[in-house]
């Protein structure tokens, strides 16, 4: 369809309407040309009508929307996969942690020494107890105490006096001491040992050791009745 518009501005010198008529003419030419060639669309594909061009545009928009939905779906899928992987990792970490604790407890239990029974503890305590004093060190009849040389020092006289009286009373009890009597002996021996520790540098090491063993044995004698 050929449409010519030969209207010249000179010929259409109708005042201020000159440019309006020219614009209408040019628009008519472009529409006619578009109808002759078809509406431009894509690479060489043209719509034959305005409606078809609108349909093409709608289809293109729907394709873009579909692509966006696909991208969103892939992103959501990737997020869910990452979340699942994180949960699995946490679960495995927790299982590994408690498994390591279990293994550690088993290893410690295997390496721990065997538990000591009540009877065994009694036997061990008896073996570790200080040796009993002989009759020359503690007279079982009178309760007289023969102290080692170091314990005969004058600084220990108050404690020797107390122990002499306590063991003399023990010798007359026959069947053994009452609890308050036993407790008095233990307290006196403990004070005796504390004062001895304060003068550890005043005596030879061997003599100091003998004095400590003697006092420990003296405290142990209070656990037995006088023979």
Give residue-wise pLDDT tens across range 124-135. 555 556 788 999
**Token representation of residue 175:** 């069947």
pLDDT average, residue stretch 64-80: 76
pLDDT band at 106 (very low <50, low <70, confident <90, very high): confident
Phi, psi at residue 145, to the nearest 5°? -110, 130
pLDDT at position 158 is 96
Q: Over the range 194-218, which residues count as b (16 or more CB within 10 Å of their CB) and which as e? A: eebeeeeeebeeeebebbbebbebb
CA distance to 67, 132, 149, 194, per residue, from 185 (Å): 98, 16, 21, 14
pLDDT band at 215 (very low <50, low <70, confident <90, very high): very high
pLDDT at position 131 is 86
pLDDT band at 101 (very low <50, low <70, confident <90, very high): confident
Distance between CA atoms of residues 141 and 188, nearest Å? 21
Distance between CA atoms of residues 49 and 72, nearest Å? 35
Q: What is the pTM of this model?
A: 0.46
Distance between CA atoms of residues 9 and 219, nearest Å? 140
pLDDT average, residue stretch 119-143: 74
Q: Largest Cα–Cα distance in the chain? A: 162
């Amino acid at each position: 369809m050929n449409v010519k518009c030969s209207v010249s501005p000179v010929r259409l010198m109708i005042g201020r309407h000159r440019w309006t008529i020219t614009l209408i003419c040019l628009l008519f030419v472009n529409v006619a040309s578009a109808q002759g060639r078809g509406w431009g669309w894509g690479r060489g594909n043209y719509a034959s009508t305005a409606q078809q061009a609108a349909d093409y545009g709608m289809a293109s928009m729907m394709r873009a929307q579909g692509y966006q939905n696909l991208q969103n779906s892939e992103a959501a899928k990737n997020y869910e996969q990452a979340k699942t992987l994180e949960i699995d990792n946490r679960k495995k970490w927790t299982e590994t942690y408690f498994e390591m604790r279990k293994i550690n407890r088993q290893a410690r239990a295997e390496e721990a020494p065997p538990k000591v029974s009540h009877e065994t503890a009694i036997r061990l305590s008896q073996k570790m107890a200080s040796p009993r004093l002989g009759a020359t060190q503690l007279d079982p009849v009178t309760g007289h105490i023969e102290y080692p040389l170091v314990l005969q020092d004058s600084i220990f006289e108050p404690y020797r006096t107390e122990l002499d009286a306590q063991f003399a009373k023990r010798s007359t009890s026959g069947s053994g001491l009452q609890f308050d009597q036993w407790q008095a002996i233990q307290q006196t021996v403990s004070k005796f040992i504390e004062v001895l520790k304060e003068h550890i540098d005043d005596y030879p090491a061997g003599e100091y050791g003998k004095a400590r063993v003697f006092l420990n044995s003296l405290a142990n004698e209070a656990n037995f009745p006088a023979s």
